[in-house]
Every structure is written in C-alpha cells, then in structure tokens.
Amino acid sequence: MKGRARGARGVAAVVSSGALLVASGCGTTDDGEVELVIETFGTFGYEELLKEFEEDTGIAVEERVYGEVEDWNDQLTQNLAADDGLGDVVAIEEGILLDVMQTSDSFHDLNEYGAGDMEDSFLDWKWEMGHTPDGKLLGLGTDIGGMGICYRADLYEEAGLSTDREELSSQWETWDDFIEVGKEFEESDVDASFADTTSEFSNAIMRQSGDVMFFNKDDELIIEESEAVERAWDISGQMIENDLTAELEMWSDDWTAAIQEGAFATMPCPAWMLGQIEENAGEDNAGKWDVAEVPGNGGNWGGSWLGVPTQTEHPEEAAQLAQFLTSPEGHQGAWEARNNLPSSPETLESDAVQNHTNEYFSDAPVGEIYAEGALELEPVYFGLNHFPVQQATNAEALLSWEQGNADRDEAWAQAVEEAERIAE
C-alpha cells in the first residue's frame, strides 16, 4: 500500500458567511428588521445567492456551514429533540430525511406559504419525497447526486495509465474493470494509492445495485439478505485484498490532508463532491483533477431539502428564503458556484447546465457528464436509521477490515451486530 494515512475524524467546523447575528435561531434587530439564519453542511454554493436575496429583500441572512453531513445530522437531531437552537432554514440530507419526518410537527407546512405552487420546479420523486405521508410539505429539494469518478490525471500519467476521460470511461465499464485499472496503478512506482477508502465506493455501489439497501420498504432490516450490500462488500473486498486504498477514514483530517497532498488518485464523485474536492485540494491542485464516467449503471448519491423549523420567529420570511434558493434560478446559482446538480428539470435542461465545463477539473464537461440522464434518476429507499447503520457498517466495520484490525468475517459480524442494535 502507498500513501497510507490514518487518524482522527475531523471536528465539526462551523463557518459563517457573514457576521454572527445571534447565538441560535433567528433574530430581529433593534430597528425591528428581520434577520435569518440558514444552516447547511459541506458546500451548498449559496454565498452569492444569499447576497442577492439580501439585496432584493433587505433581510439579512447568516449561513452557518457545518463541516460535513455527519456533523450536521448530529446537530440537527439534537436541536430537534431539545426544541431549541435551530436556524430559520435548515438543510435535511437524504440519509436522514425519513428520520426527520418522524418529527414533522417541528416543521412548518410550506404549503401554507405558497410553496405548493412550485411542484413543476422539481423532479417528481424529489417533490414527493419532501412531503410527509399526510401531505405536509416539509422540505423543498436542493440537489441530486448523479455520479462520476474523479481522478488525478497527473498521477495517472506518472503511472503510465491513460489520462483521457473518455478512454478511462470505456476501460472501466464495470467495477471488475475498475479493479483491474487499480491493479495497474498499484504496480507502478507512483508514491500514492489508487483510491482513498472503500467507504465511499461501497456507498456508491450500493446505490447502483437496487431499490433498497439496508432496509426494505417496510423498514425491516435486511442487511444479511440485501443484494446491494453484498455487492458493495464484494467489490470493496477486492479493493482491500489488492491493497488499492490509502485506508483513510472519509471526512477525517487525514482524508482532507491526503487530497491536498495527492496521497491517492481516485475517488467516486457524485456531483456535489466536485465542490468538496476543489475546496479541500485548493488552488495549488487546480487542473490536476479530471472527471470520467462511473463504472456500472450510473446512480444517484446524495441530495438534500430545505425545511423551516417551527423554532423560527419568522416563518414567512424563512419560507421565502427556502423558495428562493430552490427556485430554478437558485438551482442554477448553486450549480454555477459548486456544481451541485439541480433537482429542477428546467435547470437541468438549460444550456447553462448542459454546456457547463469546470476549469478546476481540467475543463471537464461536467454538465454533459452529470446532467445527461439525470432526468431519469430514481431514488433508492433508505428507511429509518439508514444513516447510522451506513456509518456503522460501510464506514466503521468495513474500515476495520481495510485497516487490518479485523478479517472479513470479523468485520461482517461487527456490521451485522451494530446494524441490529441500531435498528432495535
């Protein structure tokens, strides 16, 4: 193995795009003007959009950005339980959406603020998933997660592999093909690993392998019968047995440092990951990354909704902000800023998306790579407790095998035991 790095997970980082307004939730100035707080994670690409909203409405907005989705999911869950501490608009990631629906009384029905007229602005499934079973509109869709593969072209060239995105796409039409490319890379003298970690690849493969993963549509745990989980562990096992990864914990400080240092060359790349790589790798690595098609049959990984908690003192203004950010214009702004793939069909079909190239990623035609076929993407059913089960299995148990702390049987036993404990 090359470029090995291990370490502690990153600490939740809270970064404000503007001046801190209040300790939690929304506020009102001494002059009686409304001030809003929106809470997100990762890279939603809202910086310029929020400035535009402020100029158009005169309403000040602070964006609180939590480091990664795991950090934010924990904070969101805690503040919902405490009925205190949430912003006026909050992001709800797909892996926790059904869990949040269990506390739907903690959110305003956005139908009451005119958002019901926005149905045609969203892909049908994205619109439906924002509703509770009794018809309450809890969240408005932000992005979806069409998939690709991001790779360091300079490291591929050093390894004697093709650097052409179309040629690589044809070389790894299947995951078995992908493993073979990884073996060629590892046999070279490049001082870097082929891939970062199996955690990401297992998540990507599961989402391609069927319409359910850890839970069936009756919310029953099916980890031991799931073809999607079995397929993901089989491919991940080939990566481990052929020493293809840097054994990194995804989202850890070491993972971020490895992106900056070029300690690995390949990672699965849903559209939202482009912004993550650019932010973590920095300007020094501009033009070194490129994007190819993902092995297998495409797939949908990631995406969120915006909801308005009942904790807000200004639901009308908060709903106005959520509607602005999820309008076709809002989707286009987030795409242009961070290439977050729109859930708006109008925006997906626009020239601004279809013809978009990304200079940081060697001018890759990311609009063509991600938007083509996005209208046909379908969601995978997650079930309650999906996110903690995914973390305990595809992250922790699989990583223990990858890092040599357990063999396959021990790691699988750990995964099943933890999943059963969480699902109880």
Residue 93 belongs to a domain: yes
Q: pLDDT tens digit string along 82-129?
A: 999 999 999 999 989 999 999 999 999 999 999 999 999 999 999 999
| 256 and 386 part of one domain | yes
Q: Which domain holds residue 152?
A: 146-301+366-423
pLDDT on residue 32? 73
| 343 and 411 part of one domain | no
Residue 26 belongs to a domain: no
Token readout for 95 is 């892996």
| 230 and 154 part of one domain | yes
| 152 and 229 part of one domain | yes
Question: Which of 355, 376, 398 represents a domain boundary (last residue)?
Answer: 355
pLDDT at 189 over 80: yes
Q: What is the mean pLDDT of residues 155-184?
A: 97
| 317 and 252 part of one domain | no
Confidence of residue 297 (pLDDT cuts 50, 70, 90): confident
Residue 267 belongs to a domain: yes
Q: What is the mean pLDDT of residues 47-66?
A: 96
Contact 398, 198 (CB under 8 A): yes
Residue 17 belongs to a domain: no
Domain count, the chain: 2
Residue 21 belongs to a domain: no
State the average pLDDT for the chain: 91
| 48 and 180 part of one domain | no
| 342 and 264 part of one domain | no
| 100 and 125 part of one domain | yes
Residue 2 belongs to a domain: no
Residue 283 belongs to a domain: yes
Task: Report the CATH number at residue 221.
Answer: 3.40.190.10
Residue 30 belongs to a domain: no
Lowest mean pLDDT among 293-302, 303-312, 381-390, 414-423: 293-302
| 136 and 156 part of one domain | no
Q: What is the mean pLDDT of residues 25-48?
A: 85
CA distance 170 to 101: 41
| 317 and 187 part of one domain | no
| 226 and 282 part of one domain | yes
Q: What is the mean pLDDT of residues 384-413?
A: 95
Token readout for 325 is 């950010």
| 336 and 415 part of one domain | no
Nearest to 109 by CA among 249, 307, 295: 307
